[in-house]
């Protein structure tokens, strides 16, 4: 039972990560490969709060503050990285964000206060299903509502054609930064929840590989589709556990399977399983004519 | 009689010379790998993430050849041709179908290919580093000049790199194939209209780039004495940094970028904190992307609609 609860917790955390990366990659069309870096920033700063400064108040209040701190620090890292990098386009942006993600990891590795290469221990277990899924709902509602409003339309127009958006009078740099910083911030919340769910953080748990796995989640579901990235996150959290039932050899080949999946998806369905479409849930939400 | 400060200064100079030498050695390896990045980017505008893996494959082919008792002069070309052939197969199976799908899908595919080789290698060959076997017809000696130590390995790496680069220069600038390569990278459609089989030229470019990376792999295996399936990841990324630093798509730029990066890294390791070694490469990348995205040797180009 504990095992299933843990899986559900991790699914929730990865849903937040996937939806927030989808805001950057799928909705705004800016290709970022450094999401694990923001996740790490949020996780470490929230963990530092709860280990060193947390006042003796109710746990969920502390968790709430930790999530806020995770959001603020990761969003701040997003500003630091986004403002210079978002002038780049396409594959250059991908490489620059990859580089920043690795730099963040190396910096954490060299900080002794938060454990450095030993890892950060002694984080209280405050995350539970209720709070994780509350944040999942908040994230999804936020992104969906953002997409419906003026800002969201501007962000989508950048994905469709940046030059055309620019010439229609949209300040593309501002909206790109907005999407990037918000995405980074939500990744920070996921980090805070992750830190308080696993109670142990290690810099090697935030490698480039995890950025790729989160990317695979949104590609699997469909770049630009929120429901798609939710489903992609759930599939890729549960799949390795299911593979474990097929024996140790199969689960060893997990990353080989992922990489083949990535290649095959790109060759046959570059838009992902759902493409840009949303999965319609009957009796839920009003009909859209967009 | 030398005073204390003077001998300090002399030691500093020897230290500096040692780090410069190490830097040039490492830089020439980066340059060999960066050449492949730059050639492939120049011809089809694809950042071939899997390029570091061709370097790994070359190192492993060299490892198996030398383990089975082959002399170095035979194992070296084997590794080059082997990793070149793998690259041609990958180009044929994966990159050719995705070529017209746009740049981001191509980039993701390259990422997938890179991960595939890393984890496939880890599962079939084992994740633990393997000791590179002793080469029978080659002895590693160390020569001493004052306080400066130079090993045969370093001389071999630097001279092999130099020879391969001269060969590449000749190939690109003075042969018919090289002319076709330049034409294809300049304008693919026009080259096709002129009767150049661009698909063949692209395959050939992959072959040349990957075999240079394979050569670098064998040299590194000899230099550090270990090979492992993950060895391509970080040098691959750094070679990419080197290619961007020199100006991606420009062949002399890759060499310059590789050397600059290698020297900068070793100076950081020598005179500052060694754990920041990997951060320096990415720091250089971000600086160059912000200050002069076209690279040290590149020309600025306005973006057209």
Consecutive sets of 10 residues in chain B, 305 residues long: mean pLDDT of each? 68 84 90 89 84 91 86 86 93 86 81 88 83 72 77 86 90 90 88 89 92 90 84 85 85 89 87 76 82 75 50
ipTM of the complex: 0.79
In a domain, B240, yes or no: yes
For residue A112, the distance in angstroms to the closest alpha carbon of chain B comes to: 13
Q: Name the residue of chain A whose CA is nearest to B98's CA.
A: A267
Any chain A CB within 8 A of the CB of B272? no
Using the predicted structure, report yes or no on whether residue A289 has a pLDDT greater than 50.
no
d(CA B171, CA B51): 21
For residue A85, the distance in angstroms to the closest alpha carbon of chain B comes to: 7
Report pLDDT for B302: 53
Whichever domain contains B199, its CATH number is 1.10.3470
d(CA B282, CA B279): 5
DSSP letters spanning B208-252 = HHHHHHHHHHHHHHHHHSEE-GGGGHHHHHHHHHHHHHH-TT-HH
Average pLDDT over residues A45-59: 86
The CA distances from residue B16 to A116, B145, B224, B270, in Å, are 30, 14, 21, 8
Which residue, chain included where needed, has tokens 């018919």?
B176
In a domain, B137, yes or no: yes
The closest alpha carbon to B47, from B57, B56, B39, B58, belongs to: B39
CA dihedral A43, A48, A50, A52 (to 10 degrees): 170
Report pLDDT for B204: 92
Range of the domain at B52: 4-291
Report pLDDT for A43: 93
In a domain, B302, yes or no: no
**Vertex A91, ends A87 and A96: CA angle to 5°?**
60
Report pLDDT for A24: 92
Task: Dig out the tokens for B153 from the structure.
Answer: 């390995």
In a domain, B209, yes or no: yes
Q: What pLDDT, in 10s, does the model give residues A90-143? A: 777 888 888 888 888 888 888 888 878 888 888 888 888 899 999 999 999 999
Question: Between these two residues, B111 and A41, which has the higher pLDDT value?
Answer: A41
Domain boundaries, chain A: 2-208
Instruction: Return all residues near A238 (Cβ < 8 A) that are at least 6 apart.
Output: A7, A11
Any chain A CB within 8 A of the CB of B275? yes
In a domain, B152, yes or no: yes
Q: Name the residue of chain A whose CA is nearest to B233's CA.
A: A208
Using the predicted structure, report yes or no on whether residue A288 has a pLDDT greater than 50.
no
Task: Dig out the tokens for A104 from the structure.
Answer: 């963040």
In a domain, B48, yes or no: yes
- The alpha carbon dihedral of B165, B171, B173, B179 has a sign of negative
For residue B290, the distance in angstroms to the closest alpha carbon of chain A comes to: 7
Task: Dig out the tokens for A95 from the structure.
Answer: 């490489």
Report pLDDT for A94: 84
Chain A residues closer than 8 Å to B282 by CB? 99-100, 102-103
Q: Name the residue of chain B whose CA is nearest to A267's CA.
A: B98
Number of domains in chain B: 1
Q: Which residues of A touch B (CB under 8 A)?
A: 31, 84-85, 87-88, 90-92, 94-96, 98-100, 102-103, 106-107, 109-110, 163, 209, 212, 215, 219, 252-253, 255-256, 258-263, 266-267, 270
| 148-207 in chain B: CB under 8 A from chain A | none
Q: Do strands B142-145 and B130-131 pair parallel, antiparallel, or not at all (unpaired)?
A: unpaired
CA dihedral B21, B56, B239, B275 (to 10 degrees): -60
Report pLDDT for B138: 67
Report pLDDT for A290: 40
d(CA B127, CA B113): 18
d(CA B183, CA B4): 61
- Cβ contact A110–B115 (<8 Å): no
Q: What pLDDT, in 10s, does the model give residues B25-64? A: 989 999 999 998 888 888 888 888 888 899 999 999 988 8
* Cross-chain CB nearest to B103 (options A90, A109, A209): A90
Any chain A CB within 8 A of the CB of B89? no
- Cβ contact A262–B94 (<8 Å): no
Q: What is the mean pLDDT of chain A?
A: 86
Report pLDDT for A36: 93
- Cβ contact B108–A219 (<8 Å): yes
DSSP letters spanning A12-51 = HHHHHHHHHHHIIIIIS------HHHHHHHHHHHHHHIII
């Amino acid at each position: 039972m504990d095992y299933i609860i843990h899986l559900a917790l991790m699914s929730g955390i990865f849903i937040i990560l996937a939806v927030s990366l989808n805001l950057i990659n799928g909705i705004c069309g800016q290709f970022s490969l450094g999401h694990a870096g923001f996740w790490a920033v949020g996780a470490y700063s929230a963990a530092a709060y709860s280990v060193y400064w947390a006042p003796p108040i109710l746990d969920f209040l502390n968790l709430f503050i930790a999530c806020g701190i995770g959001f603020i620090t990761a969003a701040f890292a997003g500003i630091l990285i986004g403002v210079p990098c978002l002038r780049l386009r396409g594959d250059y942006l991908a490489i620059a964000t990859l580089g920043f993600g690795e730099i963040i990891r190396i910096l954490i590795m060299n900080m002794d206060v938060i454990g450095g290469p030993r890892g950060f221990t002694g984080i209280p277990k405050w995350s539970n299903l209720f709070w994780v899924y509350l944040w999942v709902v908040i994230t999804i509602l936020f992104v969906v509502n953002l997409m419906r409003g003026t800002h969201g339309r501007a962000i989508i127009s950048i994905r469709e054609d940046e030059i055309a958006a620019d010439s229609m009078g949209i300040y593309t740099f501002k909206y790109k930064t907005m999407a990037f910083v918000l995405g980074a911030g939500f990744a920070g919340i996921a980090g805070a929840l992750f830190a308080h769910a696993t109670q142990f953080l290690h810099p090697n748990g935030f490698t480039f590989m995890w950025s790729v796995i989160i990317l695979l989640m949104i590609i699997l579901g469909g770049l630009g589709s929120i429901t798609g990235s939710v489903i992609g996150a759930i599939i890729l959290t549960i799949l390795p556990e299911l593979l474990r039932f097929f024996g140790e050899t199969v689960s060893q080949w997990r990353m080989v399977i992922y990489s083949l999946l990535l290649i095959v998806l790109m060759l046959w369905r570059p838009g992902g399983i759902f493409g840009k479409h949303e999965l319609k849930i009957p009796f839920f939400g009003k009909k859209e004519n967009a | 009689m030398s005073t204390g400060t003077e001998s300090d200064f002399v030691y500093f100079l020897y230290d500096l010379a040692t780090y410069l030498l190490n830097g040039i050695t490492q830089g020439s390896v980066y340059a060999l790998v960066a050449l492949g990045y730059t050639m492939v980017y120049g011809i089809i505008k694809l950042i071939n993430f899997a390029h570091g893996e061709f370097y790994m494959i070359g190192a492993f082919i060299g490892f198996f050849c030398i383990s089975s008792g082959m002399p170095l002069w035979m194992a070296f070309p084997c590794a080059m041709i082997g990793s070149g052939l793998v690259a041609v197969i990958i180009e044929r199976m994966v990159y050719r179908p995705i070529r017209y799908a746009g740049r981001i899908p191509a980039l993701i595919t390259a990422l997938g290919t890179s991960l595939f080789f890393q984890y496939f290698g880890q599962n079939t060959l084992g994740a633990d580093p393997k000791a590179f076997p002793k080469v029978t017809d080659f002895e590693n000696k160390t020569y001493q000049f004052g306080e400066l130590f130079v090993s045969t390995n370093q001389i071999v790496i630097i001279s092999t790199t130099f020879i391969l680069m001269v060969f590449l220069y000749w190939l690109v600038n003075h042969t018919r194939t090289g002319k076709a390569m330049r034409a294809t990278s300049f304008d693919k459609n026009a080259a096709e209209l002129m009767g150049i089989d661009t698909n063949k030229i692209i395959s050939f470019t992959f072959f040349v780039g990957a075999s240079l990376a394979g050569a670098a792999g064998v040299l590194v295996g000899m230099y550090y004495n270990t090979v492992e399936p993950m060895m391509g990841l970080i040098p691959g990324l750094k070679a990419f940094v080197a290619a961007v630093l020199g100006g991606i798509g420009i062949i002399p730029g890759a060499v310059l970028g590789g050397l600059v990066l290698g020297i900068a890294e070793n100076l950081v390791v020598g005179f500052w904190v060694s754990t920041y070694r990997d951060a320096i490469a990415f720091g250089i990348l971000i600086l160059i992307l912000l200050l002069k995205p076209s690279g040290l040797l590149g020309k600025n180009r306005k973006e057209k609609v």
